[in-house]
Structure 1
Amino acid sequence: MAAPMAQATAAGTKEVILSTARKFVDFVNKCQSPFHVIEECRTILKAAGFSELREADQWKIEPNNKYFMTRNQSSVVAFAVGGKYEPGNGFTIVGAHTDSPCLKVKPKSNKLKSGYQCVGVECYGGGIWHTWFDRDLTVAGRVMVKNADKIEHRLVHIDRPILRVPNIAIHLMRDTNDNFGPNKETNIVPVLCTAAQAQLEGHTSPKKGEDPTCQADKHPPVLVSLLCTELGIQRQDLLDFELCLADTQPAVIGGALNEFLFSPRLDNLLSSYCALQGLIESSGGEGSLTSDPNIRLIALYDNEEVGSQSAHGAGSMLTEHILRRLSVGGHATCFEEAIPKSFLLSADQAHAVHPNYSEKHEEDHKPMFGKGIVVKFNANQKYATTAVSTSILREVATKADVPLQDFVVRNDSPCGSTIGPILSAKLGMKTVDIGAPQLSMHSIREMGCTASVHQSIALYRTYFQEYPSIYNSVNVD
């Protein structure tokens, strides 16, 4: 396999690549849940001069200005309005997602098992669940809090190991190396503490009927106490929460030559972060925004890992609603006229060829670390890539000096999908599915390439700047 640093773009020296990758690693380590992702995006966007809009308000959008809005505190849409934008002009879009497979705390999670205080969890998405065993886990997400006559959204992250899903000893299950298939309901139940120690320290469950309206009573008293202490609230003020379990081991740059990313949630925080940075870098200073006839936009959605069918997922009306609002001000068909002038990069991580399972890849389509961003093809429309959309992307990549590589699944292998076909079908927009190559997809810790961060940002930045002129050169409707 070719060395990623050697195959990185000509514009990217090793130190630039590592510096860019370190910033991404810092981002991942602040983003243990989709809610934390959006809060970090909000901080970055505001620092870059983007103004926050509320979806429920009227908007006054002006050329050469930058904006963003959130929905459910787990999806964000940010956009920069070209200086020459008029209603009916196109949209230059990158779409990605904020969620990753994980364990989520159940609505009633208080479980006592053989003297252990455990926490009931649901399996979210298509995770490689055996990788969650014997990891030092914590919880992160949002808590809904009663504050006087207000209901507030609060972020929480308990920054230490508090949970563990222990493996069974091989002495008690001799075939565990041959056939390890845990029952997701009965075997994946994290241990929080022992019931005896919890009782000794005063963490006891309320008696039946004591306060049936208190939502905190549905969960282990120790967990509730930790959350309340972290947030500085009383247990009766805890209304509800959405908590993800997360590994406490941080993302790092690794490998003997510092060429790899060892990290949770690469799928799909790498695409989300790079889309965000590409938009910001393309729209700052005295750049090309003033001469752009389009609106440059990123949409980072929640719930892709479970099909995108939510009010804040790519399958919702969110994207169309926003694009229609941005098309207001001209004549009645401005939105419809904008769609054929627009383009979507659907950005989601891609499968690098595995050194120990290379036979799982189609013989002529084996993406490698460092050799560029992966273009995904599927004749059955699991990906939205077409010859037209690929040709446009290749023009962008040439201008960005970013190499591309092709991927298609074997005919005897199932194919995953992305937000690309969903949005392409809903909007009727030209779309190409792309992503950075990685290994261990959907594991609790994934493996990527440092060069991919630099390459992705360069590709998205150039795409935002160059797409309108490339569109004008394409003689295909």
Structure 2
Amino acid sequence: MSKIDSKQAAQDFLSFVNASPTPFHAVNSAKELLSKAGFQEIKEKDSWSSTCQPGGKYYLTRNGSTIVAFAIGKKWKPGNPISMIGAHTDSPVLRIKPVSKKQGEGFVQVGVETYGGGIWHTWFDRDLGVAGRVMVRTKDGSVVQKLVHIDRPILRIPTLAIHLDRQETFSFNKETQLFPIAGLVAAELNRTGRSKNSDSKDATSDETGKQGELAPLKAITERHHPYFVELIASELGVDPADVLDFEMILFDTQKACLGGLLDEFIFSARLDNLNMSFCATMGLINSVADKSALDDESSIRLVALFDHEEIGSRTAQGADSNTLPAIIRRLSVLPPASFGDAGNADISTAYEQTLSTSFLLSADMAHSVNPNYAFKYEPDHRPEMNKGPVIKINANARYATNAPGIVLLQEVARKAGEDGEVVPLQLFVVRNDSSCGSTIGPMLSAALGARTLDLGNPQLSMHSIRETGGTHDVRHAIRLFASFFKHYSVLSPTIFVD
């Protein structure tokens, strides 16, 4: 990474985030990066004993919204450590409801529900597109997942004019006043040739779904506006009747870009947490870029990008699931390059041995000091933009960081100087009179018993539809993560705890 300047790294991130309006798209973007770097796709349902070999690079997905990638050192043996980085692919968004067909006062509207803890007032008066996963029936009768990304403004949530409500604090009801408008009823009626008093049901959307055929649910064109379904089908090049269901979210169509007088800022949606997802993926890729990178490696290098962090992670594809434990269990017993090297070693405790010597970096964005609200920050812990990743610490274990981890990360940052300059680091704690967020770090640390540290690049406006990060911090994080993977096997044994 030392040969790529900060602006190029930031531009690469912009391409990544602009192509990734949903977790499904983020995973697809990560897959493209990994495949280009020579990583091979594998499946959870298959046996890995003959597929995953020392020196190999692999990735797998779960639900299409979580991805795990790893590279196996050529000197790997069962029970050896795994160096890990965990991040998440989801961000607070508005999600289209299962029955979204609404209209009011002559407007076509779309029903949405809130996902995560967004700053919802920032979603008003923005040009919104839709993207997500669509389940489509193919010609042979099977059902497949397809991704759709309608990257143009079709929705908008209008604010009320100040002349009609001069409230000092902008407040609204999330259930009744957060519905976007998508068009005019009159225009839709003109398009379909129906009158205002005609039956609004689609010709094939009675309660049987298809005429004469009993269906458990109403047809999709009755649950959603027919034109919305047609739009999705058109984007996918399929017949509307073959669109069976979908998981769609709204996103800001304004592209992520560099900003500031000297392009020192990134103005973007979903910095939390696609910034860390991108940096973790590129850190892994860069750490194995050299053909000999894994020749003397005795560990496995792993990145896990989970879905559903913003809503607690307690799902099949969230960090608080069996995803990572199950994968580590399978990796911990992989045989070495030469079966003879294993001898008659007892692998019954390989999983526990691996966890006891492994380390996880929980990579989730951190708070930069906001100059307009400096009083909200602890005076001695005010992270700054472009000053490097922030180590997050909390005495009440909202973060998993402890002193041995801080020492290790300092050594990792110093080692990065061998490939260029030392990576700068910062420290953060919240004020005693302030609430503190959390990450996947504590839950994974508790589930695995592995040593863990929380960190992330500093940003402003976290959970807004439009956030601000530092241009140079992208490169700082990628170099730190690459150094972590390259040097963990050597550094870890030198830090004694128990």
Smaller-chain TM-score bracket: over 0.9
CA distance in structure 2 between the aligned counterparts of 1:460 and 1:104, rounded to whole angstroms: 33
CA distance in structure 2 between the aligned counterparts of 1:371 and 1:160, rounded to whole angstroms: 35
CA distance in structure 1 between the aligned counterparts of 2:289 and 2:361, rounded to whole angstroms: 21
1:451 aligns with 2:443: no
CA distance in structure 1 between the aligned counterparts of 2:103 and 2:201, rounded to whole angstroms: 11
Match of 2:419 in 1: none
SS in 2 for 1:340: helix
Q: Is the 8 A contact 1:367 1:407 kept in 2?
A: yes
Aligned residues: 464
Match of 1:408 in 2: 429
State which structure, 1 or 2, has the greater radius of gyration over its C-alpha atoms: 2
1:440 aligns with 2:461: yes
SS in 2 for 1:288: coil
Cα deviations across residues 296-325 of structure 1 (Å, max 9, x unaligned)?
000000000000010000000000000001
Match of 2:202 in 1: 206
Deviation at 1:220, TM superposition (A): 1.1
Q: Is the 8 A contact 1:437 1:449 kept in 2?
A: yes
Match of 2:439 in 1: 418
Q: Is the 8 A contact 2:71 2:302 kept in 1?
A: yes
CA distance in structure 1 between the aligned counterparts of 2:451 and 2:156, rounded to whole angstroms: 45
TM-score (norm: length of structure 2): 0.91
Deviation at 1:385, TM superposition (A): 0.3
Mapping for residues 77-92 of structure 1, pairs under 5 Å: 77-92=68-83
1:286 aligns with 2:288: no
Deviation at 1:210, TM superposition (A): 5.2
Compared with structure 1, are the counterparts of its residues 230 and 205 closer, same or farther at alpha carbon in structure 2 (3 Å cutoff)? farther
Mapping for residues 214-293 of structure 1, pairs under 5 Å: 214-293=219-298
Cα deviations across residues 198-253 of structure 1 (Å, max 9, x unaligned)?
11111854277354332332101121111011112222211111111000000001
Match of 2:412 in 1: 396
CA distance in structure 2 between the aligned counterparts of 1:384 and 1:358, rounded to whole angstroms: 25
Q: Which amino acid counterpart does residue 371 of structure 1 have in structure 2?
A: K
Q: Which amino acid counterpart does residue 87 of structure 2 have in structure 1?
A: A
Match of 1:111 in 2: 102
Match of 1:67 in 2: 58
1:172 aligns with 2:169: no
Q: Say what the alpha-carbon RMSD is for the aligned residues.
A: 1.4
SS in 1 for 2:326: helix
CA distance in structure 2 between the aligned counterparts of 1:292 and 1:472, rounded to whole angstroms: 14
Cα deviations across residues 71-113 of structure 1 (Å, max 9, x unaligned)?
0000000000011111100000000000000100001100111
CA distance in structure 2 between the aligned counterparts of 1:377 and 1:283, rounded to whole angstroms: 30
CA distance in structure 2 between the aligned counterparts of 1:307 and 1:120, rounded to whole angstroms: 24
The correspondence for 2:155, drawn from 148, 158, 163, is: 163
Q: Which amino acid counterpart does residue 354 of structure 1 have in structure 2?
A: N
Q: Is the 8 A contact 1:216 1:238 kept in 2?
A: no
Deviation at 1:287, TM superposition (A): 4.1
Q: Is the 8 A contact 2:127 2:155 kept in 1?
A: yes
Q: Is the 8 A contact 2:368 2:460 kept in 1?
A: yes
Report percent identity of matched pairs: 50
Cα deviations across residues 329-376 of structure 1 (Å, max 9, x unaligned)?
561000000111100000000000001000000111000012111000
Q: Which amino acid counterpart does residue 209 of structure 1 have in structure 2?
A: D
Over 4 Å off, 4+ runs: none
Q: Is the 8 A contact 1:205 1:221 kept in 2?
A: no
SS in 2 for 1:406: strand
Mapping for residues 352-431 of structure 1, pairs under 5 Å: 352-400=368-416, 401-431=422-452
Mapping for residues 270-349 of structure 1, pairs under 5 Å: 270-329=275-334, 331-349=347-365
SS in 1 for 2:277: helix
1:196 aligns with 2:186: yes
Q: Is the 8 A contact 1:282 1:289 kept in 2?
A: no
Q: Is the 8 A contact 1:29 1:251 kept in 2?
A: yes
Q: Is the 8 A contact 2:2 2:479 kept in 1?
A: no
Q: Is the 8 A contact 2:89 2:277 kept in 1?
A: yes
CA distance in structure 1 between the aligned counterparts of 2:187 and 2:21, rounded to whole angstroms: 28
Q: Which amino acid counterpart does residue 38 of structure 1 have in structure 2?
A: V
Cα deviations across residues 364-410 of structure 1 (Å, max 9, x unaligned)?
10000121110000010000001111111111111121111100000
CA distance in structure 1 between the aligned counterparts of 2:311 and 2:207, rounded to whole angstroms: 37
CA distance in structure 1 between the aligned counterparts of 2:378 and 2:463, rounded to whole angstroms: 21
Match of 2:8 in 1: 19
Compared with structure 1, are the counterparts of its residues 275 and 373 closer, same or farther at alpha carbon in structure 2 (3 Å cutoff)? same
Deviation at 1:190, TM superposition (A): 0.6
1:468 aligns with 2:458: no
SS in 1 for 2:371: coil
1:153 aligns with 2:124: no
CA distance in structure 2 between the aligned counterparts of 1:216 and 1:229, rounded to whole angstroms: 14
CA distance in structure 2 between the aligned counterparts of 1:375 and 1:227, rounded to whole angstroms: 42
